[in-house]
Every structure is written in C-alpha cells, then in structure tokens.
C-alpha cells in the first residue's frame, strides 16, 4: 500500500521523508550527481534520493559541538578535516569562545574521523566537477550541515545541493549563504525540533547504515 505524502503534517519515518524529498528534486538539472547522507540520520533519507536519481550513495560525517549546559544544542560543528564552524549568536549567548570549546572540538573531530573510516566504501569518489547532493533528516541550527558544506566545497564540486525534508526557517535561510541550492520541503513556523515532524524518529544505528550502503551497491 502506498504511503501518503504527509508533507503538511510531517513524515511516517526517514524512508518516507526521503521519497517525498526525491519527488521534489525531480526538476533539478544535475550533472553526474553523487548523494551524500549526513551520518547518521540523514543516510536513510539519502538512500531514497540516491535511488530516485540513480546516483551513488556515500556517507558524510559532521559532528555537532554541543553547548556545555545543553549538549543536544549545537553551537557549532566539525568535520574530520578543516576548521570548526560555529554559530556566533549561540556562542555569544552561552558566553563561550573557540578556546573554551577547543577540547569538545577535538573530541568530536576524532569521532568524525573514526566514523569516516567506519563507513568508508572502497576508494573515495572524486567530487570534482560533479553536482553533490547533501542530505540530512532535518535542519535545526544547521551547524552540522554548514560544516559539511564547507568541507565539501574544498573538493571542487560543480555545485552543492543541500536537501532536507524539514527545517527551521532561520537555519534554511542561513544555509542559502553556504550551499548553491537549499531544498527544504517543510519550513514550519514555530519549529522546535526535527523529531516532532516524524512519527518514527528512532536513532539510526551503525548497522543500519552498513545495511543501506550494502543494498545501494
């Protein structure tokens, strides 16, 4: 039975969100695209997009740097290589600076490197001259997506498309300064959290990611 397109109220799960997102991408003119899912939650969404585009699927790793008193709130993010990316407003509001966040930054960078090795499949794909589609399950602060876009930009892609099923309007607007195209299906007024727009928002496991990558070929 077909799953209804619940694009006004949310999604059944990440697979459903990926199918909806893929349909919204049908009009894009993409050159030899490669789809990258932000680990972990973006990978099941990205798998549906990659299937629809008949494009290779890979995993992109960016780790959020949480506020000391609210670790779930990303004041910044970091990838395996390159500088960390911080939200200046949040850093100021928590009376932080890059020096006080250095230990957290290095800890998350080490974890990003570990996960890159964990999810690596064969030889890395060249992104030079290709359209890169970066997919996540949603944008809250946008910190991890921003860090990932900046890292990917160093690989010389033709363009970077950031595609998400749902996001904070403020985060979407800010990411338009980073990616060439930002496609966000839902931008709810009063956005509070990505998970509120999914009926099933269970954490994606490493094993699920390995299974998805194996199925993608």
Displacement of CA 93 from its chain's centroid (Å)? 25
The number of helices, as runs of H, and strands, as runs of E, in the chain is: 7, 8
Per-residue pLDDT of the chain (217 residues; tens, 9 = 90+): 233 344 557 999 999 999 999 999 988 999 899 999 999 999 999 999 999 999 999 999 999 898 888 888 888 899 888 788 888 888 898 999 888 898 999 999 999 999 988 998 777 789 999 999 999 999 998 999 999 999 999 999 999 999 999 999 999 999 999 999 999 999 999 899 999 999 999 999 999 999 999 998 7
Burial of 208 (0-12, 13-18, 19+ CB in 10 A): middle
**CATH code at 184?**
3.40.50.2020
User: Within a domain: residue 175?
Assistant: yes
In a domain, 182, yes or no: yes
Domain with 23, as residue range(s), is: 14-62+118-216
Q: Is residue 178 part of a domain?
A: yes
Instruction: For residue 61, give the DSSP letter.
Output: -
Cα separation, 66 vs 82, in Å, equals 18
Domain tally, the chain: 1
Task: Tell me, yes or no, whether 194 lies in a domain.
Answer: yes
Task: Classify residue 4: in a domain, yes or no.
Answer: no
In a domain, 33, yes or no: yes
Distances (CA, A) of 111 to 20, 94, 101, 114: 31, 24, 16, 5
């Amino acid at each position: 039975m077909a799953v209804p397109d619940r694009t006004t109220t949310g999604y059944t799960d990440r697979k459903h969100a990926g199918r909806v997102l893929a349909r919204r991408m049908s009009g894009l003119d993409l050159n030899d695209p490669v789809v990258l899912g932000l680990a972990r939650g973006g990978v099941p969404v990205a798998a549906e997009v990659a299937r629809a585009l008949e494009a290779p699927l890979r995993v992109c790793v960016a780790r959020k740097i949480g506020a000391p008193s609210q670790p779930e709130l990303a004041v910044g993010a970091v990838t395996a290589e390159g500088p960390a990316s911080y939200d200046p407003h949040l850093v100021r509001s928590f009376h932080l600076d890059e020096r006080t966040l250095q230990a957290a930054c290095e800890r998350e960078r080490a974890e990003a490197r570990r996960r890159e090795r964990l999810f690596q499949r064969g030889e890395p794909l060249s992104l030079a001259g290709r359209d890169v589609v970066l997919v996540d399950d949603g944008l809250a602060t946008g910190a991890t997506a921003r860090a990932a876009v900046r890292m990917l930009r160093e690989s010389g892609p033709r363009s970077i498309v950031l595609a998400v099923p749902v996001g904070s309007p403020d985060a979407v607007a800010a990411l338009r300064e980073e990616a060439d195209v930002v496609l966000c299906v839902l931008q709810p007024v009063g956005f509070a959290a990505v998970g509120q727009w999914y009926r099933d928002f269970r954490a994606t496991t490493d094993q699920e990611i390995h299974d998805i990558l194996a199925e993608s070929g």
